C-alpha cells in the first residue's frame, strides 16, 4: 500500500484550486464494479450522467464527455471548430489562458493574444493578471476585423492562476455588438460547479470543463457543452479529427454509449457529484454558487487583515473558487508554501508562470466548509509568521468573524428532522 500522507493522523488539507478534495460519498460511488460498457446497464448510466451534466451546465444542448484532462478538452474544442491555420483571438487573463494560446500555436493556428496592457504599480505584476477579461478590447479587435478572419474568441471564465472570474455574458455582448460571426469558446474548467455559469444564458458556443475542480471528482474526464452553431461549425471545419470528433460521440451518446471505452468509474462518480450539486434539499446550484461566494469573502477578509494584496485587484470579478495571496517583495511564496506543507499538512496552489514565487493560492472550491477554510487560513498565518512575513493582523480572526457574522442562508434539509 502506498503511504502518501506526510503526517500520521488526520486528513491532509488539500487547499489547492484543483484537484479539490473528493467527498467520501463520491469515492464510495466510484468503487462500484466496472461494468461492460456495451451492456444494458451501462446505457442507463450513460443516459443518466449525460442528462445530469446538462443540468449542471444549465444547457438544453448536448454535452460531450472525454476521458482526458482539461488540456485534452482545450485541444478537442479547437480541433472540432477550426480549419488548419485559422485565426483565433485569445484573451490573456493569466497562466491558463497563456497555456491555451501556446497549445493553439502548437496546433498550427494563428493564435492572436490580447490583454490589458501594462503592469500594476503596487506589485509590478502584469495588469491583465490582476483583472478579468475586458470585453471592450475584444469588441474593438473584432470591429477591426472587417473580413471576419477571426474564427473564434477564446476566454477563460475562472482564471485559476489568478482568482479572477470574468463576465462571459459581456464577452458575448461584445461579439454581438461588433456584428462578428466568431464562435465563443469558454474555458470554465475551474468554474463549473462552483462559480455561477449557464452555457445557454451566456451564449457560449463551446464551454469546456474538467472533473477535478468544482465537480469534486478525481482528474480524468473533461467536458464540452455545445451550441447548435458550434455543431454546425464542426461539420464544416477541416482540421483532421478522429478521437476528439464530436459527430461519432454525439451519435453514440443518443443511446447512452460512447464510440470508445469510457471511464466507467469516473462516470459513477460524476453521477454522484451531479446529485450533490443539484440536490434540491441543499438548495441546488443557486445555493452551491452562494456557498462559494461566501467562502471567498471569508478568505479575502483574512488576506485583508494580514495587510497583504489579493492577486485579483478588481472586486467585481473576485473568484468564488480561489484567492491569490501576493507576498511582499523579496518573499519567496514557494518557500512559505513549503513551510505550510511540511509543518501543517496543508497544500496550497503555487504561483504559476509570470506569478512564480510571487504569490500562493488558497482554493475554496468543492467539498469545503467554514471550518476547513478557517483551518487553511490558520495554516497560512502560522506558516507566514514562521517564514518571517510581516502581518498587519490576524486573518484567522477576520475569517472567523466573517463566517460567524454572515451565516449561510438556511436551506431546508429533508434529511434532518
Closest to ligand PLP by CB, 142 or 192:
192
Kindly tell me which of 209 and 283 has the beta carbon lying closer to ligand PLP.
Answer: 209
Residues 261/104, Cβ–Cβ less than 8 Å: no
Check if the beta carbon of residue 271 is closer than 8 Å to that of residue 52.
yes
Applying CB under 6 A, does 156 fall inside the site for ligand PLP?
yes
The one segment of 64-72, 244-252, 263-271, 300-308 that binds ligand PLP by CB under 6 A: 64-72
Residues 6+ apart with CB under 8 A from 336: 327, 360, 383, 384, 387, 389
- Among the listed ranges 66-74, 126-134, 166-174, 357-365, the one in contact with ligand PLP (CB under 6 A) is 66-74
Q: Is 320 in the site for ligand PLP (CB under 6 A)?
A: no
Binding-residue pattern over the window 203 to 222 for ligand PLP, x denoting contact by CB under 6 A: -------x--------x---
Contact letters for ligand PLP, residues 183-202 (x by CB under 6 A): ----x-xx------------
Query: Can residue 69 be called a binding residue for ligand PLP (CB under 6 A)?
Result: yes
In this structure, what is the dihedral angle of CA atoms 14, 193, 88, 137, given to the nearest 10 degrees? -90
DSSP string, 249-308: HHHHHTTT--SS---HHHHHHHHHHHHHHH-GGGTHHHHHHHHHHHHHHHHHHHHHHHT-
Using the minimum distance from each CB to ligand PLP, give the nearer residue, 194 or 271.
194
Separation of alpha carbons 84 and 149, rounded Å: 13
CA separation, residue 192 to residues 22, 57, 157, 198, 374 (Å)? 16, 7, 9, 9, 24
Element containing residue 210 per DSSP (H, E): strand 206-210
CA–CA gap between residue 10 and residue 173 (Å, rounded): 49
* Closer to ligand PLP by Cβ: residue 178 or 206: 206
Left, alpha or beta for 144 (phi > 0: left; psi -120 to 50: alpha)? alpha
**Given the complex with ligand PLP, which of 220 and 284 has the nearer CB atom?**
220
In whole angstroms, the minimum distance from the beta carbon of 71 to ligand PLP comes to 3
Which of 228, 244, 248 lies closest to 79 in space, CA to CA? 244
- Please say which residue, 327 or 352, places its beta carbon nearer to ligand PLP: 352
Name which position in 13, 15, 18, 372 contacts ligand PLP (CB under 6 A).
Answer: 18
Q: Least separation, in Å, of the C-beta of 409 and ligand PLP?
A: 28
Among 55, 58, 71, 265, binds ligand PLP (CB under 6 A): 71
CB of residue 70 to ligand PLP, shortest distance in Å: 3
Which residue's Cβ has the minimum distance to ligand PLP? Answer: 70
| In the complex, least distance from residue 157 CB atom to ligand PLP, rounded to whole angstroms | 8
Inter-CA distances, 100 with 31, 74, 151, 314, 417, Å: 33, 7, 16, 23, 49
Question: Which position among 160, 162, 227, 311 is part of the footprint of ligand PLP (CB under 6 A)?
Answer: 160
Smallest separation (angstroms) from ligand PLP to the CB of 348: 14
**395 counts as binding ligand PLP under rule CB under 6 A:** no
Radius of gyration of the chain (CA): 21
Phi, psi (degrees; rounded to nearest 5) at 158: -110, 105
Q: How far apart are the first and last CA of the chain?
A: 41
Judged by beta carbon, residue 163 or residue 210, the one nearer ligand PLP is 210
Interface residues with ligand PLP (CB under 6 A)? 18, 69-71, 96, 156, 160, 187, 189-190, 210, 219
Amino acid at each position: 500500500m502506498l503511504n502518501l500522507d506526510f503526517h500520521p493522523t488526520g486528513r491532509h488539507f488539500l487547499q489547492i484550486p484543483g484537484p479539490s478534495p473528493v467527498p467520501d460519498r463520491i469515492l464510495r460511488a466510484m468503487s462500484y464494479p466496472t461494468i461492460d460498457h456495451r451492456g444494458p446497464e451501462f446505457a442507463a448510466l450513460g443516459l443518466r450522467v449525460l442528462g445530469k451534466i446538462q443540468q449542471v451546465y444549465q444547457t438544453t444542448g448536448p454535452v460531450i464527455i472525454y476521458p482526458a484532462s482539461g488540456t485534452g478538452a482545450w485541444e478537442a474544442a479547437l480541433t472540432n471548430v477550426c480549419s488548419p491555420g485559422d485565426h483565433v483571438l485569445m484573451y490573456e487573463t493569466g497562466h491558463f489562458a497563456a497555456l491555451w494560446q501556446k497549445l493553439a500555436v502548437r496546433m498550427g493556428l494563428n493564435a492572436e493574444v490580447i490583454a490589458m496592457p501594462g503592469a500594476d504599480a503596487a506589485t509590478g505584476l502584469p495588469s491583465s493578471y490582476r483583472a478579468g477579461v475586458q470585453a471592450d478590447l475584444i469588441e474593438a479587435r473584432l470591429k477591426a476585423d472587417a473580413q471576419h478572419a477571426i474564427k473564434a474568441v477564446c476566454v477563460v471564465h475562472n482564471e485559476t492562476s489568478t482568482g479572477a472570474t470574468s463576465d462571459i455574458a459581456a464577452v458575448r455582448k461584445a461579439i454581438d455588438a461588433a456584428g462578428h460571426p466568431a464562435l465563443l469558446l469558454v474555458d470554465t474548467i475551474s468554474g463549473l460547479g462552483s462559480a455561477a455559469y449557464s452555457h445557454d444564458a451566456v451564449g457560449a458556443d463551446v464551454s469546456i470543463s474538467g472533473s477535478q475542480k468544482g465537480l469534486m471528482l478525481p482528474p480524468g474526464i473533461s467536458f464540452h457543452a455545445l451550441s447548435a452553431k458550434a455543431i454546425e461549425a464542426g461539420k464544416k471545419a477541416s482540421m483532421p479529427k478522429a478521437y476528439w470528433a464530436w459527430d461519432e460521440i454525439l451519435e453514440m451518446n443518443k443511446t447512452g454509449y460512447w464510440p470508445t471505452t469510457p471511464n466507467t468509474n469516473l462516470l459513477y462518480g460524476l453521477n454522484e457529484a451531479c446529485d450533490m450539486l443539484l440536490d434540491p434539499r441543499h438548495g441546488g446550484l443557486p445555493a452551491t454558487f452562494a456557498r462559494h461566494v461566501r467562502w471567498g469573502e471569508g478568505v479575502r477578509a483574512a488576506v485583508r487583515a494580514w495587510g497583504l494584496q489579493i492577486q485579483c485587484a478588481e472586486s467585481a470579478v473576485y473568484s468564488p473558487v480561489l484567492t491569490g495571496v501576493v507576498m511582499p517583495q523579496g518573499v519567496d511564496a514557494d518557500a512559505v508554501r513549503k513551510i505550510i506543507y511540511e509543518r501543517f499538512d496543508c497544500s496550497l496552489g503555487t504561483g504559476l508562470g509570470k506569478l512564480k514565487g510571487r504569490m500562493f493560492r488558497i482554493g475554496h472550491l468543492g467539498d469545503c466548509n467554514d471550518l476547513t477554510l478557517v483551518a487553511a487560513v490558520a495554516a497560512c498565518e502560522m506558516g507566514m509568521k514562521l517564514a518571517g512575513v510581516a502581518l498587519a493582523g490576524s486573518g484567522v480572526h477576520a475569517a472567523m468573524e466573517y463566517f460567524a457574522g454572515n451565516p449561510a442562508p438556511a436551506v431546508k434539509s429533508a434529511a434532518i428532522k
